[in-house]
Chains A and B, each alone.
Chain A
């Protein structure tokens, strides 16, 4: 095994052992940066999930929100009246329209005195075009029932069959479902009628917040005619104020970290590879092919990167599992593997950038006395 690897990176492998300290150092830096990026990604992912996980479950091709005259559309203020809903339903190419209400309020259970902030969803039964869907699985059948997401059930300390009070009205918990959130509050689902009443009691209009529309239609034309805007579910997230500010700042931090790591890791391998240029010139004079030297250099960079990233990733998963009990933290391929791959690519890019000093190394310089 060692001999096999040795053939590919004979010199590089021995350099790794010879300059152990230096490589341990850069490996540690790679590991630390991977840990930082991974941890921040996990946290960002966790926060994002607390913000948008329910919105991402909304069905349909597009989500229709009210388009205010002088500002951007917003989930918090959107209100779509009967006429607007009807206009969408009757527009050309529209297959189905599901009106959905969202409003933030408070709920309390008799067992726990303190009320809990919750997001109330007004959901019809079995929205057309949806099969099993974690959000719609919460939709209750009767107006005096609610479906409670697991986060809300935990906060309120309730189970199926318990009673909770929302804006002064009592409801029976008909189902406890998945962990769904809207703008950092856990979701509770009501029937559209019950939701409309609740919305009015907290100062809302009682009209739908968003329409989930399945259609093959001229979205912009219908939107303009009805004073609405139809966005893809992902694009509609910018209509969540909390999401925009949070992801904006955390995203900036992650981007900056990537920038810094690109510089650190890239610069190290650039300098290191350039330092090897003298030895590369000797090997070339002795008859080494450029290909074998490139493999040697990239192989060396890969070994250091893979080891550093591996350690960093293990730390992310370890610490993330611990942190996940207290913080919103997500361990998923996007928050672990994606940063790892980006780190590897950046490091190799740095090494590849410096490869010119290997491929251009003049074997003649080996002959001179001024090496």
Chain B
């Protein structure tokens, strides 16, 4: 589970600061895809960046974990936040952001080699899951291909597999369909939905494209940094 509590984030803007996220609270439950939508510049990516520990909020908390075992990711020192990203969070970027020199399989294997005293044991575990995830995203046959040999949809599927290979508690996805056509977009959204349910992941998914809203379990709308509309209701905590 991931829970944002009264998160406020500002950016310096000349003399003043602009508020990108304004006292936002939001919960993503395990086994649930929570959509975050809103107009351009409303603060969707900023919310995701805070959830991903890539930005530290001015105030508020980002609780990650289950039941009594919750960590406030917003308060972690830098190296522990890095460790959390390595072990507890999966990130799928708007652009697939794969590494051009690596094959599809290696894009997943790299997750076991990000340093920080990754134990032999953990590495073996991730390596063992690589084939399973390639299969889950339907790319076993393309495992040996490099990024430039893959289509946009295939890249995005590899990115999703990479986001899940280390079995994170939380999966954060920014605009996964923006580079894809309607049909491929739908397939990606269905894949995310299926994997989220199968793996019981708490998935937050930013999109401004509501064509695939049926694949979302929850949906919130962001306007000027504020979470305004609980469309399905459950994601908003009052």
Question: Which residue numbers of A lie inside 8 Å of B, CB to CB?
Answer: 6-7, 10-11, 14-15, 17-19, 279, 282-289, 291-293, 295, 363-364, 366-369, 371
Question: 22 A-B Cβ contacts within 8 A?
Answer: A6-B113, A10-B110, A14-B102, A14-B106, A15-B101, A19-B101, A284-B82, A286-B86, A287-B87, A287-B116, A288-B115, A288-B116, A289-B82, A289-B116, A291-B115, A292-B114, A295-B115, A367-B91, A367-B93, A368-B45, A368-B94, A369-B95
Contacts of A18 in B (CB 8 A): 100-101, 146
Q: How many chain-B residues does the 8 Å CB contact rule pick out?
A: 37
Min Cβ gap B82→A in Å is: 5
Contacts of A295 in B (CB 8 A): 115
Per the bound structure, the CA–CA distance linking A19 and B100 in Å amounts to 10
In the complex the two chains form, is A369's CB within 8 Å of B86's CB?
Answer: no
Contact among A19, A288, A289, A366 with B93 in the assembled complex (CB-CB below 8 Å): A366
Contacts of A367 in B (CB 8 A): 45, 48-49, 52, 54, 91, 93-94, 174
In the complex the two chains form, is A286's CB within 8 Å of B91's CB?
Answer: yes
Per the bound structure, the CA–CA distance linking A291 and B113 in Å amounts to 12
**From A9, which residue of chain B is reached at the shortest CB distance?**
B113
Per the bound structure, the CA–CA distance linking A284 and B95 in Å amounts to 16
Contacts of A17 in B (CB 8 A): 101
Judge if B55 is at the interface, Cβ distance under 8 Å: yes
**From B81, which residue of chain A is reached at the shortest CB distance?**
A287
In the complex the two chains form, is A289's CB within 8 Å of B45's CB?
Answer: no
Min Cβ gap A1→B in Å is: 16
Contacts of B162 in A (CB 8 A): 286
Contacts of A285 in B (CB 8 A): 52, 54, 85, 91, 93
Per the bound structure, the CA–CA distance linking A292 and B54 in Å amounts to 18
Per the bound structure, the CA–CA distance linking A286 and B87 in Å amounts to 9
Judge if B128 is at the interface, Cβ distance under 8 Å: no
In the complex the two chains form, is A11's CB within 8 Å of B49's CB?
Answer: no
In the complex the two chains form, is A289's CB within 8 Å of B110's CB?
Answer: no
Judge if B111 is at the interface, Cβ distance under 8 Å: yes
Per the bound structure, the CA–CA distance linking A296 and B45 in Å amounts to 30
Interface residues of B in 70-107 (CB under 8 A from A): 79, 82-87, 89, 91, 93-95, 97, 99-102, 106
Min Cβ gap B152→A in Å is: 13
Min Cβ gap B105→A in Å is: 11
| Interface SS, A side | helix
In the complex the two chains form, is B85's CB within 8 Å of A14's CB?
Answer: no
Judge if B131 is at the interface, Cβ distance under 8 Å: no
**From A291, which residue of chain B is reached at the shortest CB distance?**
B115
Judge if B175 is at the interface, Cβ distance under 8 Å: yes
In the complex the two chains form, is A287's CB within 8 Å of B48's CB?
Answer: no
Judge if B178 is at the interface, Cβ distance under 8 Å: yes
In the complex the two chains form, is A364's CB within 8 Å of B110's CB?
Answer: no
In the complex the two chains form, is B102's CB within 8 Å of A292's CB?
Answer: no
Contacts of B113 in A (CB 8 A): 6-7, 10, 292
Most chain B CB atoms below 10 A, which of A10, A287, A364? A287
In the complex the two chains form, is B94's CB within 8 Å of A288's CB?
Answer: no
Query: Which 6 A-B pairs have CB atoms at the shortest separation, nearest pair first?
Result: A292-B115, A287-B86, A287-B85, A18-B101, A289-B115, A288-B114
With A279-B99, A293-B115 already in contact, 12 other A-B pairs whose C-beta atoms are closer than 8 Å = A6-B113, A285-B54, A287-B83, A287-B114, A288-B86, A288-B115, A289-B79, A289-B114, A289-B115, A291-B116, A292-B113, A368-B45
Most chain B CB atoms below 10 A, which of A15, A19, A295, A366? A366
Per the bound structure, the CA–CA distance linking A295 and B113 in Å amounts to 12
Contacts of A14 in B (CB 8 A): 101-102, 106
Min Cβ gap A366→B in Å is: 6
**From B94, which residue of chain A is reached at the shortest CB distance?**
A369
Q: Mark B151-162, 1 if CB is under 8 A from A, else 0.
A: 000000000001
**From A12, which residue of chain B is reached at the shortest CB distance?**
B101
Q: A14-B101, A369-B175 are in contact. Are A286 and B115 (CB under 8 A)?
A: no
Per the bound structure, the CA–CA distance linking A364 and B175 in Å amounts to 15
Most chain A CB atoms below 10 A, which of B49, B54, B83, B115? B115
Contacts of A293 in B (CB 8 A): 115
In the complex the two chains form, is B116's CB within 8 Å of A364's CB?
Answer: no
Most chain A CB atoms below 10 A, which of B86, B110, B146? B110
Min Cβ gap B140→A in Å is: 20
In the complex the two chains form, is A286's CB within 8 Å of B146's CB?
Answer: no
Per the bound structure, the CA–CA distance linking A266 and B157 in Å amounts to 39
Min Cβ gap B158→A in Å is: 13
Contacts of B86 in A (CB 8 A): 286-288
Contacts of A291 in B (CB 8 A): 115-116
Q: Mark B211-223, 1 if CB is under 8 A from A, else 0.
A: 0000000000000
Per the bound structure, the CA–CA distance linking A17 and B113 in Å amounts to 18
In the complex the two chains form, is A11's CB within 8 Å of B93's CB?
Answer: no
Interface residues of B in 31-49 (CB under 8 A from A): 45, 48-49
Per the bound structure, the CA–CA distance linking A283 and B110 in Å amounts to 9
Per the bound structure, the CA–CA distance linking A295 and B225 in Å amounts to 39
**From B100, which residue of chain A is reached at the shortest CB distance?**
A18
In the complex the two chains form, is B97's CB within 8 Å of A366's CB?
Answer: yes
Min Cβ gap B146→A in Å is: 7
Contact among A11, A287, A369 with B102 in the assembled complex (CB-CB below 8 Å): A11
Per the bound structure, the CA–CA distance linking A284 and B55 in Å amounts to 13
Contacts of B99 in A (CB 8 A): 11, 279, 282-283
Contacts of A363 in B (CB 8 A): 54
